[in-house]
């Protein structure tokens, strides 16, 4: 199954500004690709550039996408392992745009096998309920969001903090007081604290029955993570500290986290995510599936990955609920309040509306 050409789209989605500790995104800076083959089928992939985390922008992704597409021309789309090795040999890093190419190959492979992607990966459906994220803002706005989401059926709130540890504790206290006792609250500091503030916060937060805290410190403080985990009263989830399976191995070996957040934009795609999942499962470290600001297309791929990965026990699949002002996706995952499902169509089972794509800047390689 030879690759004949690739279509690349500047897949920008307008959205309500979304703030985390390291910056504010004004729009979803995504890239959508379709890889065509000589067997008359194509596979599609999407990535969402989040420069504050991965260092990649939409423009860098688009430049690399054209290079990757040229590299794969006339190559066998079925040989996923060799194709991905070629990308890694061509350029280090660039995991975000690599994840779109990885996704497209898996979409192709499952379509060729005429099965949904989760079945191609050896998985089966189970109930998956996502959290819903509250971005950083004034405490009154964050409390209002929390009660609004709860009224809409949310059982799990993920609260962005990390600007100021003392103010963060106050915010979480107000939110916990405002919501029902049974509502789960998890927090994400997005690397916002130094070690001393992280210790303080992860002891003080325990009084509010917090499920876990994602990425308390900058990755350059990773050598402090074992000590932090020892001193923290709240479980620590590694996010930006874990891009690939080598990071996962190091974190597990040094007892630097209680759980790991897997994101395709960090792992370089499904193949890398499966390697992280396997190591974590062997070590008894639970995983979460998360995302950046993807549309429902990549969200659906994340859902398939979760169904295929039994050690994924936490779900942060609310990317399309974080203020996207347009939904150009056809088919794919749907929300029943905060529970996700999708039809059993071959491959990822989603695509992007042609009318929307005609408005996007695009290239054919």
Residues belonging to the active site: 160, 188, 214, 239, 263
Give the other-Cβ count within 10 Å of 196's Cβ: 10
Contact 206, 234 (CB under 8 A): yes
Q: Which two tokens stand for residue 131?
A: 């959290």
Report residue 48 CA to chain centroid gap: 9
Phi-psi region of 209 (alpha: psi -120 to 50; beta: other; left: phi over 0): left
Phi and psi at 121, nearest 5°, equal -85, 0
- Write down the number of H helices and E strands in the chain: 14, 17
d(CA 145, CA 155): 13
344 three-class SS: coil
Q: Which two tokens stand for residue 259?
A: 């759980």
d(CA 59, CA 189): 27
Report residue 174 CA to chain centroid gap: 28
Give the other-Cβ count within 10 Å of 127's Cβ: 8
Strand order in the sheet with 339-341: 128-129, 339-341, 334-336
Name beta bridge partners: 244.
none
Phi and psi at 274, nearest 5°, equal -65, -35
First to last CA, the chain: 17
């Amino acid at each position: 199954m030879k690759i004949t050409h690739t279509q690349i789209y500047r897949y920008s989605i307008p959205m309500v500004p979304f703030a985390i500790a390291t910056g504010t995104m004004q729009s979803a800076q995504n890239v959508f690709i379709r890889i065509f083959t000589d067997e008359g089928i194509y596979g599609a992939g999407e990535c969402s550039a989040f420069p504050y985390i991965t260092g990649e922008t939409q423009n860098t992704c688009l430049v690399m996408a054209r290079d990757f597409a040229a590299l794969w021309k006339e190559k066998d789309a079925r040989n996923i392992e060799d194709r991905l090795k070629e990308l890694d040999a061509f350029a280090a890093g660039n995991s975000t745009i690599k994840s779109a190419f990885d996704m497209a190959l898996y979409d192709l492979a499952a379509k060729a096998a005429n099965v949904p992607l989760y079945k191609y990966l050896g998985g089966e459906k189970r109930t998956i309920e996502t959290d819903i994220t509250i971005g950083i803002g004034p405490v009154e706005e964050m409390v209002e969001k929390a009660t609004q989401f709860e009224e809409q059926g949310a059982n799990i709130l993920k609260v962005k903090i990390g600007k100021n540890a003392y103010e963060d504790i106050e915010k979480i206290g107000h939110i916990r007081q405002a919501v029902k006792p049974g509502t789960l609250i998890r927090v994400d500091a997005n690397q916002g604290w130094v070690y001393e503030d992280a210790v303080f916060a992860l002891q003080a937060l325990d009084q509010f029955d917090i499920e876990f805290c994602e990425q308390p410190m900058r990755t350059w403080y990773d050598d402090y993570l074992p000590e932090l985990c020892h001193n923290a009263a709240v479980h620590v989830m590694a996010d930006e500290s874990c891009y690939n399976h080598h990071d996962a191995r190091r974190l597990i070996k040094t007892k630097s986290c209680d759980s790991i957040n897997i994101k395709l934009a960090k792992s370089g795609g499904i193949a890398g995510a499966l390697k992280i999942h396997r190591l974590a499962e062997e070590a008894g470290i639970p995983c979460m599936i998360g995302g950046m600001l993807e549309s429902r297309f990549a969200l659906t791929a994340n859902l398939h990955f979760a169904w295929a990965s039994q050690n994924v026990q936490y779900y942060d699949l609310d990317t399309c609920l974080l203020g996207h002002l347009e939904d150009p996706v056809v088919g794919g995952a749907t929300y029943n309040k905060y529970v996700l499902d999708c039809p059993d169509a071959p491959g990822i089972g989603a695509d992007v509306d042609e009318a929307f794509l005609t408005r996007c800047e695009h290239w054919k390689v």
